Amino acid sequence: MTLSWLGILRLGLVQMALGMIVVLTTATMNRVMVVELALPAILPGLLVSLYYGTQFLRPHFGHGADTGGKRTPWIIGGVAVLGLGAIGAALSVGLMARSVPLGIAAAVPSFLLIGLGIGAGGTNLLALLAARVGEGRQAAAGSAVWIMMIFGLAATGITAGQLLDPYSPARLVAVTAGVAALALSLTVLGVWGQERRTAPAASAETRPLAFRAAARELWADRRVRGFTIFVFASMLAYNLQDLILEPFAGHVFALSVGESTALGGMHHAGALIGMLAVLISGTALRRWVVVPIRVWIVGGCLLSGAALIALAYGGTRAPDWPLAANVFTLGLANGAFAVAAIGAMMGLAREGDEAREGIRMGLFGAAQAIAFGLGSFLGTAAADVMRGLVASDALAYGAVFAAEGGVFLIAALLALSLGRDEKPAGSATMVPGE
């Protein structure tokens, strides 16, 4: 039995809940540590890296649900653990105001819980979507779910910002606890009754061996292996520019803080429109025109690469280069490519005779998360190194953007090499890269 659009939107509430909690830890608490507490910016960076460091466990989380027969407990439990970790992180930030070492000691396990919670909940949410979304809906479903997540990020950021003013440690804990409680309620509302499949649970003695055997068999599949490499390469390119775009605008185009923040908003607006385009093409326009997922993925990678190379060139033409239009185009391509890639993940995760959606989606999710964490680090490190080697900021940032564009072009070639059959977007039998 496949999910209706109402069922898909209900599961989107879970993705929205995940985003609601995560934005407090990556944005709000980050700012408090750096601004209010005047701590080094590397501290929140290292704490967030703990979250990324746990994501290699995603295949284990997915396999646990595969063998246990139910994903609902993993999803609800994951969001609960995520919420507890966020509350612990808020408490640790308040503790840092009194004793930095003690606060850091409390923050480390809290951020590990955040990573474990989002890994367990997010992996099995996508696996449930992969298993239950019907033929022809994967890309559109991925778009709808990610748009809901962005809405959750924006709504939480605006609301929490108002509730946290004026800032106090107690207020931060109270707001975080309230958001965590709301997120858990939305998760239960979204996932309850959505799952039908049951299977006998694997014994504790056989599960570790079963996981190793399943992992070996999975990695031996050429298409799964190739798609995992594609996910890693494309998501690495996707995130390499994330932390250097606004500094580039300030150093090269002399934009103010407000202007560079607005530029970041242009990128997000473009990404949202790109996601909406994939959603509309898979729903309202589907009866007239069918766009294969591979077209969205390859086209998005190519346009992203071209936009980054244009940024590299545009820096040498500052301040006359149409920077806002360039960044909007980059966001448009990024958004379309990202949700189409999620749709392709869902299509490949559900292939095969046995229920392996969890471990497959866990493998893809681990590649994506690790690439995101590595991309943030490598992008900033490369920019720092190039600025130390080259006198011109435009050439320094341009070299990094050009390299990122090259990675996107390589990702497009990988996507083309993964499959040959052209099928409609979201086909249940689609091959990787479609």
pLDDT tens-digit series, residues 350-379: 776 556 788 888 999 899 888 988 887 888
Q: Where are the domains of the chain?
A: 1-193, 205-434
CATH number of the domain located at residue range(s) 205-434 in this protein: 1.20.1250.20
Averaged pLDDT, 321-348: 91
CA distance 140 to 283: 7
pLDDT in tens, 374-427: 887 888 888 889 999 999 999 999 999 999 999 999 999 999 887 554 444 444
Provide the 10 A C-beta neighbour count for residue 151.
Answer: 15
pTM, two decimal places:
0.80
Answer whether CATH 1.20.58.100 is correct for domain 1-193: no
Burial of 429 (0-12, 13-18, 19+ CB in 10 A): exposed
Lowest mean pLDDT among 115-119, 310-314, 359-363: 359-363
Domain 1-193 matches domain 205-434 at the CATH topology level: yes
Closest-CA residue to 176 (of 255, 77, 85): 85
Average pLDDT taken over every residue of the chain: 85
CA distance 82 to 425: 33
Sign of the Cα torsion 69, 72, 75, 78 reads negative
Contact at 8 Å (CB) between 59 and 363?
yes
Count the helices and strands in the chain (H runs, E runs). Answer: 16, 0
Task: At 23, list the tokens.
Answer: 């934005």
Burial of 59 (0-12, 13-18, 19+ CB in 10 A): buried
Phi, psi of 27 (to 5 degrees): -110, -60
Contacts of 119 (CB under 8 A, 6+ apart): 54, 55, 57, 58, 61, 78, 365, 369
With cut-offs at 50, 70 and 90, classify the pLDDT of residue 140: confident
